[in-house]
Structures are given as structure tokens and as C-alpha cells.
Structure 1
Amino acid sequence: MKQLFLGLVVLLWLGGCGYKPSSYYAKEALGDTIYAEVSISRQDPRNSVLINDAINEAIVSRFGAKLSTKERADTILKVRIDSLSFSPTIYDKYGYVNAYKTSVVLSFTYEAKDKKVEKLTASGEYDFFIATNSIISDTNRYEAIKAASSEALDEFISKIAIKGLRNGNHHQ
């Protein structure tokens, strides 16, 4: 009962002081409909597709925005993979790799309805363990790229939210 009361007090306090999550300000800046386009890397087309899926999923789940056609979108979001790497982080006593860190750097270019174009770079990382044979499975690879891309998108959302606050794109 005390936890429920405390939870209600915290919610009322946050609501009363006008707290809004960063995704609110990012959505204000980007709009309700987004067209997302991930540049397919010739060297690594498979990873480009994985990142495209992660970006599309995050647009819907984090922004609460809808994916749209280029012509109907409030914002056109173009994403390019600047770098993607897998680095061993933990070895067993025999020298086999037990864990990796995935690092991804994404370049975002977005154009809002007012035709103003902004460019940002964001990065994400993800650590994961593998089976004892030191080989990264397709499932490990997919989950790691998705998680690191999602983290990079979170950084992008934060940067957009900060820009939105600085530019006065919020309602009081």
C-alpha cells in the first residue's frame, strides 16, 4: 500500500511540474509520420538490412510515430552506417573468446516539413556472450546489431530532444 501511494505521489509530482520524456520533444521535432531510409552498404548489405529493421522498429516503439511514404512523411530520416565492429572482450583460460562488444556509429540526416536539413552522428554499443566455440552465430549477430543500433537511435532521440528544447519547439 505504501508503494502504491508513493508511486502516485511521484507520478503527480512529475506530471505537475510539466515533466515530459525526451521522446516527446523528439516527436515534436520530427512529427507524427516518418520516412526512414537506411543506406545499404555494398561491403555489408546484410547488416544494413538489420539496422534498417531496428530503426523502423524503434521509430514505432520509441517515438510512437508511424512509418510513412516519402511523399506523406512529416520527416525524412536517412541513416548511414559509418562503422560497425565486433571486438573480443573476454577470453577463457584456453584463449577462446567468450564475449564480444558490438559498436555501431550511425549518421543521421533528417529533413522536416520546413525543408531544413540537419545532420547528426550517434553511436551505440552492446556486449554479449557466445558459445564456447568463439564463433558469433547469426542470432548473436542480429541481436547485437539490433541492440547497438537501438542504443545509437536513443542517442539520436536525445540529441533531437535537446535541439527541440533549445529551438523552442515545446508547448507550455
Structure 2
Amino acid sequence: MRFFGLILVVALFAGCGYRPAAQVTQSVLGENVFIDVTINVQDPKNSVLIKDALKEAMIGRLGRNVVSKEQAQTQLYGTLGSVGFSATMYDQDGYVTAYKARVSLTIVTVFETGERETVRASGEYDFTIEANSVISDARRFEAIKNASVDALDEYIAAISIRGMRHGKHDQ
């Protein structure tokens, strides 16, 4: 019975034209990608975190090669828009026990054809701290990185939609 259920699920996905995002983005971005993130003078540490998160997303999630500008089929230029923290939960004494980190990014994609597309993406990450304490640098950087990964998921979705719209998902 499970075998038939599995066959049914596979047939549904195959029948509806499902393609994984990594496969669609491969046809849009190509195999080799160059990544550059503008370093924000007021927040250089966070800019470096964004660059690392972008590289991780390209390599780990999409299986792309991060290469030099000359070897790249596609170039990505990221800019950190803003980073913010807001309290989301308090204990019975009024101390903050949870925060939400918010990150906004602008990623300009330059395709092999020379065409450019700008995607503005934002991400969030919720985390807790001990009551009556401050956010440590390690927790702050971890939260920013995770919120950046969330924003990059939004970017990946936008690029996948572009691939579906332009018919590049069948290649």
C-alpha cells in the first residue's frame, strides 16, 4: 500500500511540472557565480556576515561554484540595507526574553547576457536570551546571519520565478 502511495506522490509531482528551485536557478544563474558585497562603513562586520551567508547559500543550497569575476556566468552584487532588533517577548517582571532580528538586502544580479535584475529581500530570525541580560556579540552575529539566510531564501525564490517566467526551467 505504501508503495502505491509513493508512486502516486511521485506521479503528482512529475505531472504538475514540479522542478526543484536549485534546478530552476541553475538554468538562470549558470554553474559559476561571482559574489561581491559592498562593505558598509558603519557596519563592516555585518557586511562580511552577509557575504559569507550569500556564498553559503550559493554553494550549499544551490550547488553553484563561486568563482572570479572573469570566470563567472552570473555576477551577484549585494548591499546591506538595514539590520534591526526588536523585542518580541517579555517575562513577568518586564525583562526582554526574546528578540527578532531583521535584515534587508539588495542584490543586483548581472546575467551572462548583460541584463540586470535587482531584488530587494528581507529576512527575520527569532531568538531568546536570558532575562535581564544583553545580547552578546556572538548571539547578535548568529541572529544576523540567520536572518540573512532567510532573506537569501527570498532572493532564491525570486530568481526561480524569473526562470519559470522566462521558460528556462526546461533546460
User: In 1, Cα distance between the equivalents of 2:93 and 2:11?
Assistant: 56
User: Any idea what SS the aligned residue of 1:109 has?
Assistant: strand
Match of 2:6 in 1: 7
Between 81-90 and 18-27, report the one with greater CA deviation: 18-27
Partner residue in 2 for 1:171: 170
Q: Aligned partners of 1:95 and 1:19: how far apart in 2?
A: 48
1:110-155 alpha-carbon deviations (Å, 9 max, x no partner): 1111111111101111111012233112232122111111111111
| SS of the residue 1:85 aligns to | strand
Partner of 1:155 in structure 2? 154
| Counterpart residue type for residue 54 of structure 1 | A
Write the distance in 1 (CA, Å) between the matches of 2:45 and 2:3.
47
Aligned to 1:142: 141
Which amino acid is the alignment partner of residue 143 of structure 1? E
Structure 2 unmatched runs, 5+ = none
Match in the other structure for 1:106: 105
Query: Unpaired segments of 5 or more residues in structure 1?
Result: none
Give TM-score scaled by structure 1 length. 0.91
Query: Larger deviation: 91-100 or 12-21?
Result: 12-21
8 Å CA contact retained: 1:34, 1:67: yes
| Preserved CA contact (<8 Å) 1:106 1:123 | yes
User: What is the alpha-carbon distance in structure 1 between the residues aligned to residue 4 and residue 145 of structure 2?
Assistant: 38
Contact 2:23 2:169 in 1 (8 A): no
Show CA shifts across 1:57-96 (max 9, x none).
Answer: 1111111111111110111100001111011111112221
Given that 1:40 and 1:48 are in contact with CA atoms closer than 8 Å, whether structure 2 keeps it comes out as yes
Identity value in percent: 45
Equivalent residues of 1:126, 1:148 under 8 A apart: yes
Range moving further from structure 2, 51-60 or 7-16: 7-16
Distance 1:4 1:47 in 2: 49
CA distance in 2, matches of 1:123, 1:92: 28
Give the aligned partner of residue 34 of structure 1.
33
Structure 1 pair 9/47, CA: closer, same or farther in 2 (3 Å)?
A: same
**For 1:170, what is the secondary structure of its paired residue?**
helix
For the Cα contact (< 8 Å) 1:107–1:121, is it kept in 2?
Answer: yes
Q: Given the two structures, how large is their TM-score scaled by the length of structure 2?
A: 0.92
- 8 Å contact 2:19–2:169 — kept in the other structure? no
SS of equivalent to 2:148 = helix
Which residue identity lines up with residue 88 of structure 1 in the other structure? A
Report how many aligned residue pairs link the two structures. Answer: 171
Give the 3 Å change call, closer, same or farther, for CA 78–131 of structure 1 in structure 2.
same
The 2-side partners of 1:12 and 1:170 are apart by 19
- Residue in 2 that maps onto 1:46: 45
Matches within 5 A, 1:42-121: 42-121=41-120
Deviation at 1:169, TM superposition (A): 1.7
